[in-house]
Copies of this chain bind each other. A is one copy, B any other.
Amino acid sequence: MSRDMKKLTGLVAATFTPLTTDGAINLSVIGSYIDYLTEKQSVKKVFVNGTTGEACSFTVDERKRLAAEWCLQGKGKLEQVIVHVGCMSIKDTQELAQHASSIGADGIAVISPSYFKPTNADALRMFLKEVGASAPDLPLYYYHIPSMTGVALEVADVLNGIEKMIPSFKGVKYSGTDLRDLGQCVCYSQSHNWSVLYGVDEQLLGALVLGVHGAVGSTYNYLGCKMKQMLSAFDEGNMTQARDIQFKCMDVITFAKNLGFDVAVNKQVMSELSGLALGPPRLPMLPCPISKAQTIAQKIKDSFCLT
């Protein structure tokens, strides 16, 4: 199989998972979701079944069906579909990795197991190696998100020598705030032509200046156009404009956090802003009151002059 391993760069939307009102996955929304992203937000890359997608709350079978639908519906519209396959169990992770390969995904991403946490970089590399070996033709990205996993191993330590263990290793989705570690990842990745994608939307600018190659995040679902302007401003050396956009993003995130902002709330905000019927979250998350989502959505519209 000749897969086009094109480097992952730019903005990538971490997609929400549409559910029906009674809590089943709702594949029927995915087509219009893709249209919304590509047409309204100019975002053509997606990160499916990640934290934003509540993947850990779904079964292996549900995750397969979701991934398959995104790949199928995205054909000809999306440039890249990265499927997150991380599970607590390595066997489940491997099964999802193989499945991602079979459906034509453009890459897989893997979090560290978080119930049993790897005690050192070696243990995590071994885990990633076994996952990579089960889908050797797919670019593999390590997905670092210590706020969720509690796994705080320095990623630079994990990367060190990983190219010898995992030929398909292609980079990191870095959703942490340790810029020293991030910078060293960027530095190390240069000689391997890997991608370092940043995952904390409200402080993306601080990562851009360190040379990250793109960003994966939930707010790019509804602020894709605006954040692309930030990337352009930065590239053109217009720091004042880039900063202005980033400050607005910080402001709305802070506003939302002060009201209580989890994936369930974020999903409802997306429903409000996009018009897509994404439905409720799955337990243990509780549904977000509509009025709260509307308040946050309005704040976003006002801050960014959305219509």
**Interface on A for B, CB 8 Å cutoff?**
51, 54, 56-60, 62, 87-92, 112-119, 122-124, 126-127, 130, 148-150, 156, 177-180, 183-184, 186-187, 202-203, 205-211, 234, 237, 239, 242-243, 246-247, 250-251, 253-254, 260, 262-263, 282-286
Instruction: Evaluate whether A116 and B210 lie within 8 angstroms (CB atoms) in the complex, with A183-B250, A247-B187, A254-B180 already known.
Output: no
Q: Report B-chain residues with C-beta under 8 Å of the C-beta of A54.
A: 116
**Inter-chain contacts of A283 with B (CB < 8 A):** 90, 123, 126-127, 130
Copies held by the complex? 4
A202 touches B177 (CB 8 A): no
Task: Identify which of B118, B178, B242, B263 contacts A284 (C-beta below 8 A).
Answer: B118
Residue of B nearest to A235 (CB): B239
Contact A91 B113 (CB under 8 A): no
Taking CB atoms, residues of chain B closer than 8 Å to A254 are: 156, 180, 184
Residues of B within 8 A of A59 (CB): 60, 89, 91-92
Closest CB-CB distance, A143 to chain B, in whole Å? 12
Knowing A88-B57, A89-B59, A246-B210, say if A178 contacts B177 (CB, 8 Å): yes
- Could you jot down 8 A-B contacts, CB within 8 Å? A58-B91, A119-B260, A119-B285, A156-B254, A180-B203, A183-B246, A205-B209, A209-B239
Partner of A88, one of B88, B186, B187: B88
In the bound complex, do residue A117 and residue B180 qualify as a contact, i.e. CB atoms below 8 Å apart? no
In the complex, which residues of chain B have a beta carbon less than 8 angstroms from the beta carbon of A60?
A: 59-60
Q: Is the CB of A58 within 8 A of B209?
A: no
Q: What are the residues of chain B within 8 A of A91 when measuring CB–CB?
A: 58-59, 62
Known: A90-B284, A187-B247. A180 touches B202 (CB 8 A): yes
Q: Which residues of B contact A286 (CB under 8 A)?
A: 119, 122-123, 126
Q: Using Cβ atoms and an 8 Å threshold, which residues of chain B touch A58?
A: 89, 91
**Which B residues touch A179, using CB under 8 A?**
177, 179, 202-203, 206
Query: Separation in Å of the A169 CB from the closest CB of chain B?
Result: 17
Question: How long is the Cα–Cα vector from A156 to B57 in the complex, in angstroms?
Answer: 25
